[in-house]
Amino acid sequence: MRYQEISDQTRADLFAASLNPEGVVDLIRRAFEEDLQGGEDVTSVATIPADHISTGEFRNRATGVVAGIPVARAVLEMVGIGDITTPILCAHEVTAGTVLVSARANTRSLLLAERTALNFLGHLSGIATLTRTWVDEVSEFGTLIRDTRKTTPGLRELEKYAVRMGGGTNHRMSLSDAALIKDNHIQAVGGVVKAFQSVRSLYPHIEVEIEVDTLEQLQEILLHNPDLVLLDNMSVEECKEAVAITAGRCKLEVSGGLTLNNARAYAETGVEYLAVGALTHSAPVFDIGLDLKAEI
């Protein structure tokens, strides 16, 4: 299949969303190749005249937060669709039945693009919608909802973008962005202080976060001025104690055992971040469909 170039506007919108246009194009190309397997859409070719024209409207079927509009537009453009309208901006909350994207084009092209566009829109909007739910739950306390690296392989950039569209905050994008000293690092090197000092000495200019399992470890590491301490699987009461012990000397992040039911209680302790892997690994797909109106 021969793909068309995406428009300058779509490219600019992807850049504005901190997405790499070439990376997005490559993902879309691979999605089409997975669909076609070197062949063609046999159902559409058999049932729809080559010159048939339709208007397609992508509508959500539930209330939620939209993400992925420029990605969906890139999908349409790559199969040669140019007459595209996108009335809804990413990060907006929409009620059921809203037209998110509209396109007038060759019907075969619309149907070829349909599933790939819906897969991106549904997945990213699902992440944004779930993130917004968490953000709203703790908003009055100023606690930030942060994602993790528990992302779908190859989709991290897009999934973390969707978290931002939902009002969440991104943790590191890669292992080289910042240091996060976990329990296995601590176990391997022989203690929290030794692990922290090893990272700080070799990489003095990057942010260093260290995980602690006990309040004793927290007190031990505070003497060495960490940027951020991760309180791993601690109870609400332990987190309250951690905030008191820290007394503003560094930021605190909670991870492990978090649910929407207890998020508010953890936020009330005064920690700065809640790390929620579920934003990307367990977000339900946002229900979006394509309504086709054939021209007579």
Q: Which residues are catalytic?
A: 115, 150, 182, 211, 232
The angle subtended at Cα 42 by Cα 38 and Cα 45, nearest 5°, is 115
Which position has the token pair 């309180």? 231
Any bridge partners for residue 212, and if so which? 231
**How far is the C-alpha of 181 from the C-alpha of 42, rounded, in Å?**
52
Say which DSSP state 139 is in. G
257: left (phi over 0), alpha (psi -120 to 50) or beta: left
Rounded Cα distance, 91 and 14, in Å = 14
**Which are the contacts of 179, defined by CB distance < 8 A and separation ≥ 6?**
199, 203, 206, 207, 208, 209
Whether the Cβ atoms of residue 162 and residue 196 lie closer than 8 Å to each other: no
* Dihedral sign of CA atoms 208, 214, 219, 221 in order: negative
What distance in Å separates the CA atoms of residue 270 and residue 281, rounded to the nearest whole number? 26
Give start and end residues of each alpha helix (H) in 145-202.
156-165, 183-189, 192-202
Three-class SS of residue 228?
Answer: strand
Q: Of all helices (H) and strands (E), which one includes residue 290?
A: strand 288-294
Question: Which residues is 124 bridged to in the sheet?
Answer: none
Distance CA 287, CA 290 (A): 11
> Of 167, 155, 125, which Cα lies nearest the Cα of 288?
125
